[in-house]
Chains A and B, each alone.
Chain A
């Protein structure tokens, strides 16, 4: 029983990180109709920046409790990168065929991945001090790090805040209006450019937050972003591109299937995930909750 409980907690941990990545990807697609291939790399940047900041903090003798404040700082720095990227690289492409947007974001992956190698080198960057700072709790007879519960909590809070922000605020109404009809929203006096930049910034913040909270549990390594992107794709394909609820359900499905897969059929674990995605695309191309 205790093992089952821990497996469920592990799945939830993975799901909350996946949700953060996939929800950002989905939000950007929903509002801007851009599939941001570089989204996984932005998640990796979040992980690297946070691990680096934590390392600097420890070297400077910052008290342990304060180091936790560096998690949102890591996420914010990714949001800043997003705010620079959108007007500079993406804005020229809204009027052109979507192939070009895919290609630009593919180029962006290559740039970001090598920038990380240039800045932080090839050795993994760890921030496990944060994980060790929190106590270990007992579940049944087994030990479980309390930090993992914090990550699950952050995932839940992020989902609630995002949902409230999109469906219960003025800004959310503006976001949804732009997503449904960009030209009409613009004609009604909305500053579409500003909405695009903020949607992209929020999406990047979510990816960065995902990276920031994951890095204390596993070190930041090169290539983590590219792997995360394809899994996030599976999530949004299952849930439906552009749907918040879809990102949540998709993240839960993927993480539970993956946990079960590692347990029962380790060789086929990844293949099964992609096959599920392909099947969903065939039966319901817009995903379980997508509308577009």
Chain B
């Protein structure tokens, strides 16, 4: 590390912005070029990317593997469903306004318990707590609809400026909602980038790399892990909030631990050692799963084989493998 930390950091910001701009442009232009179904799929992909981005703050940057992140996604989804049921207004902003504090409070509470442990015990504790929520959603059927779940109708966007009814309502909703999610996605990426590059994020990485040394530096490890958990859960919860109006229905499946496994899979697919890994993973996983489900009845088998092969052959994920390849090419040239 040189004394002037500013310059390389500024350069990396510029480099990132330069790489992101064309991708963003493509994402903005896409709805005009493809059919509604593809736009819908891409929206699901962006939402999965937000969920994985949040999850990866824990796995990639804090070194904690949560096997219960379905809890926060599901809390977000159910919070919206309860708002629809009891409070009425079909406004997306209102959903987010109620949903985010709900998710944040839940993550803070459960996180406070979970960060008392690390490694495998952390994983099992997160899993156990998410299963508590799952079994409540399943068994308290007079409130949650049991395994039938709860319906969520199409909300109005932008404080009621855009509402969707009539024969072309569905298509209009998908296109508008895509831009809505895209905007939130961009905000999330920027926010997360700021978080992991802030002194707070650097501290998390120090704890991940050497807990004992970090403690000797006077860092209050548990508190840092707790805040990371809170931020991580809130991001994943926001993904749940955004997911439910698109899906139109929330069922206890999004709280079940196998869904947590899918979130882990997503982050690993893209590569959890990279900032962009979970984003790529979220998009790729959505397409992979959709096409696997469409092409074979035994899509789970296909996904399982992909996962095992991936862990065996590409432990650094798609982004990790590409950047390694890029480095090798660059070295070959010079």
Binding site for B on A (CB under 8 A): 35, 89, 92-93, 96, 98-100, 102-104, 106-115, 117-118, 226, 230, 233-234, 237, 241, 266-271, 274-275, 277-278, 281-282, 285
Contact = CB atoms under 8 A, between A and B. Distances in A.
A266 B117 CA distance: 31
Nearest to B138: A270
A234 B128 contact: yes
B121 interface: yes
Contacts of B124: 35, 233, 237, 277, 281
Interface stretch (B6-14, B296-304, B322-330): B296-304
B245 to A, nearest CB: 28
A96 B303 contact: no
Closest 3 CB pairs of A and B: A110-B304, A270-B135, A114-B301
B139 A270 contact: yes
B257 A278 contact: no
B177 interface: no
A104 B116 CA distance: 26
B304 A111 contact: yes
Interface of B: 59, 65, 67, 113, 116-117, 119-121, 123-125, 127-129, 131-132, 135-136, 138-140, 257-258, 261, 264-265, 268, 297-301, 303-308, 311-312, 315
Contact of B265 (A92, A100, A106, A268): A106
B143 to A, nearest CB: 10
A114 B128 CA distance: 25
Given A103-B265, A237-B124, A281-B121, A270 B131 contact: yes
A283 to B, nearest CB: 10
B139 A271 contact: yes
Contacts of A270: 131, 135, 138-139
Contacts of A118: 298, 301
A111 B301 contact: yes
A201 to B, nearest CB: 20
A99 B129 CA distance: 19
Nearest to A231: B131
24 contacts: A102-B65, A103-B264, A104-B312, A106-B261, A107-B308, A107-B311, A110-B303, A110-B304, A113-B300, A114-B298, A114-B304, A230-B127, A230-B131, A230-B257, A233-B124, A233-B127, A266-B139, A267-B140, A277-B128, A278-B113, A278-B128, A281-B117, A282-B113, A285-B121
Given A99-B59, A285-B121, A110 B301 contact: yes
Given A108-B304, A110-B301, A274 B311 contact: no
A234 B116 CA distance: 18
B132 to A, nearest CB: 4
A90 to B, nearest CB: 11
Contacts of B121: 281, 285
B121 to A, nearest CB: 5
B252 to A, nearest CB: 11
B125 A109 contact: no
Looking at chain A's contact residues, the main secondary structure is: helix
B139 A267 contact: yes
Contact of B120 (A35, A108, A109, A113): A35
Given A117-B298, A230-B131, A274-B132, 17 more contacts: A35-B123, A96-B315, A102-B264, A107-B304, A107-B305, A107-B306, A107-B307, A108-B304, A108-B308, A111-B301, A112-B304, A114-B301, A118-B298, A226-B258, A234-B128, A275-B132, A281-B124
A121 B30 CA distance: 41
Given A111-B301, A267-B140, A237 B308 contact: no
Nearest to A277: B128
Contact of B128 (A102, A107, A268, A274): A274
Contacts of B128: 233-234, 237, 274, 277-278, 281
B300 A114 contact: yes
A115 B301 contact: yes
A103 B301 contact: no
B268 A274 contact: no
B243 to A, nearest CB: 22
B64 to A, nearest CB: 10
A282 B311 CA distance: 31
A103 B307 contact: yes
Contacts of A237: 124, 128
B136 A271 contact: yes
A103 B260 CA distance: 11
Nearest to A113: B300
A282 B298 CA distance: 39
A110 B265 CA distance: 12
A267 B138 CA distance: 9
A266 B59 CA distance: 36
Given A234-B128, A278-B113, A100 B311 contact: yes
Contacts of B265: 103, 106
Nearest to A236: B124
Contacts of B67: 102
Given A103-B268, A267-B140, A274-B129, A110 B300 contact: yes
B28 to A, nearest CB: 35
A104 B261 CA distance: 11
Contacts of B113: 278, 282
Contacts of A98: 65, 119-120
A277 B123 CA distance: 13
Contacts of A226: 258
B131 A274 contact: yes
Contacts of A117: 297-298
B171 to A, nearest CB: 34
Contact of A278 (B125, B264, B304, B312): B125
A104 B308 contact: yes
Nearest to B301: A114
